[in-house]
A and B are shown apart, each in its own frame.
Chain A
Amino acid sequence: MTRNESLTDQIAALADGSQTALSLAKRSITRAEQNPDLNAFVALDEIIVLSQAEAATQRRKEGTTLSPIDGVPIAIKDNYLTQDYPTTACSDASPLEQGGIDATVVANLRAAGAVIFAKTNMHEWAYGATNNTSNIGITRNPHNLDHITGGSSGGSGAAVAAGIVTAALGSDTGGSVRIPSSACGIYGFKPSYGRASRHGVLPLSWSLDAPGPMTTALSDIEYLLPYFLGPDPKDYSTANARKFESTTFSKPPKLINLKGPGLERAIEVDRTITAALSKVEGSHSEAQLPNVASYFAAWEAILHCEASTYHESLLQQCPEGYSSVTRTHLEAGCRLTGVQLLKSQILRTKLLQVLLNDFPDWDALVLPTLPVPVPLHEQDWQEFGGRKVTTQDSMTWFCWIGNLAGLPCITLPVGNSSTGLPIGMMLMGKPGRDEELLAIARKVDHNINGGE
């Protein structure tokens, strides 16, 4: 696939008058209609889209433009509450929170004039990373329809990669922004825990969840992060959150490539990451993260316990509304003990201490975003590095680390597999230093992809 127009390009086109909000909206609608096989959208209403676009076009004519993104169409994952569309989390178990209000991030974007374009397909309740479990059916990868998009924000990934929109919103509990971004060959950013408001995003696991942007170009993320980061009185975790402040990173970054038991990857993926890293200016070293299986168990226990708590009432009221695999996950949380949960919370702190205090000095930690090339829909298992794991587990193989430790993370496309599907590289920064990570990613992306 050739490089798609980016949100940055659209901002420039709106500013110089070569496009209007209305022309962009019409083009996005046409492209969505041309790509029904992707199954990227759960709700797209032409009237809703065009009325927003007409208002944005009028504002620009009158010189009352609200922001640089005024008039840009942005798609929204179906677990964000939205005024004008229902919110289903792609489940038949009604969340009972349909319509009425916008999630904080959606409200911020709407106030800036963004055109809330559509709701995107997702893995049911975000409780999975393939996008093969959804009440409207599977999502297909624009690079090859036989392959998964990854999930749980798979519809957002497909919509951006297909050029229907230049940016979409995702949410990330164990990689759900980064996994489909990597599989679809786009950029995805998960903010630090406590810097981005989760208000109005239906939770999977409160202490692991983060909303994040998925975009065509890295520069697009810088335009969107101000609408994510900062304090929100409706989300206590953001009480001390700083607003976005763009920064630069002048020195060559110190990168640590994480490897070792529990962090295996397919040879093809490792070669691609190694080749990409060889182009990056800065110091490179390798380090082993000890006790990966224990930290992973802690992430999984917290995830299941928090999800089962959130769903306890609805699961009793409407068990038939859930897919059987989602019900199974929710049962797992009911079977874990208080001791196991508290031990997991201890390990969460220990992991962060290991990363911050036991490793040599670093600016960013590096991992492949996925350990394997993007799987086919029918592949239930993946074999790599002497491991045989379910495709589901392979998708979150590395990403959960960023959620358990609350780190900011970004995925960049860095190459293609032998099957022509994208391979992504993940950078993880220090907690709260989202802007610094973005600045490092700009350098790394420039070295690898030649952008900006």
Chain B
Amino acid sequence: MIVDDRLKPTDDENDQNVYRITEALKRISAGLKRIEISSFDEPAHLFKPEVVNDKE
């Protein structure tokens, strides 16, 4: 699970950290798959809230 051996957590913290990173990645992957995105949706290239129309 570790990207670079130099960054390996200390032994006593390793299990907890591997759990954390695994859970975070699983959660993100599942969350992003769960919602349907249409072909008309575009990413916010430079996030600017004011470009999204307010119905008022």
Contact = CB atoms under 8 A, between A and B. Distances in A.
Interface of A: 192-194, 207, 240, 291, 293-298, 300-301, 304, 315-316, 319, 324-325, 327-329, 331-332, 334-336, 340, 342-350, 352-353, 356-357, 361, 405-407, 430-432
Given A293-B27, A347-B35, A347-B37, 13 more contacts: A192-B49, A301-B32, A327-B9, A331-B21, A334-B3, A336-B28, A345-B45, A346-B37, A350-B41, A361-B55, A361-B56, A431-B50, A431-B52
Given A324-B10, A328-B9, A332-B21, A349 B41 contact: yes
A207 B4 CA distance: 27
A431 B44 CA distance: 15
A291 B31 CA distance: 8
B34 A300 contact: no
A405 B49 contact: yes
Contact of B49 (A298, A332, A352): A352
B9 A324 contact: yes
Contacts of A405: 49
Contacts of A407: 49
Interface of B: 1-4, 6-7, 9-10, 13, 17-18, 20-21, 24-25, 27-32, 34-35, 37, 41-45, 47-50, 52-56
Contacts of A431: 49-50, 52
A290 B29 CA distance: 18
B23 to A, nearest CB: 9
Nearest to A294: B35
A342 B43 contact: yes
Contacts, number: 127
B27 to A, nearest CB: 6
Given A331-B7, A350-B41, A240 B50 contact: yes
In this complex, the member of B9, B34, B44 whose beta carbon has the largest number of chain A beta carbons within 10 angstroms is B44
A325 B42 contact: no
Across the A-B interface, the 4 shortest Cβ-Cβ residue pairs? A297-B31, A431-B49, A345-B43, A324-B9
Which of B7, B18, B48 has most chain A Cβ within 10 Å? Answer: B7
A160 to B, nearest CB: 29
A446 B44 CA distance: 38
B3 A331 contact: yes
B54 A335 contact: no
A346 B31 contact: no
B7 A315 contact: yes
8 contacts: A297-B27, A297-B28, A297-B29, A301-B28, A343-B37, A344-B32, A346-B37, A353-B52
Contact of B47 (A193, A297, A301): A193
Contacts of B41: 346, 349-350
Contacts of B28: 297, 300-301, 304, 336, 340
Contacts of A207: 47
B37 to A, nearest CB: 5
Given A297-B28, A315-B7, A350-B41, A291 B34 contact: yes
Nearest to B10: A324
B49 A406 contact: yes
A125 to B, nearest CB: 15
B45 to A, nearest CB: 8
Contact of B25 (A192, A291, A296, A332): A332
Contacts of A293: 27, 30-31, 34
B53 A357 contact: yes
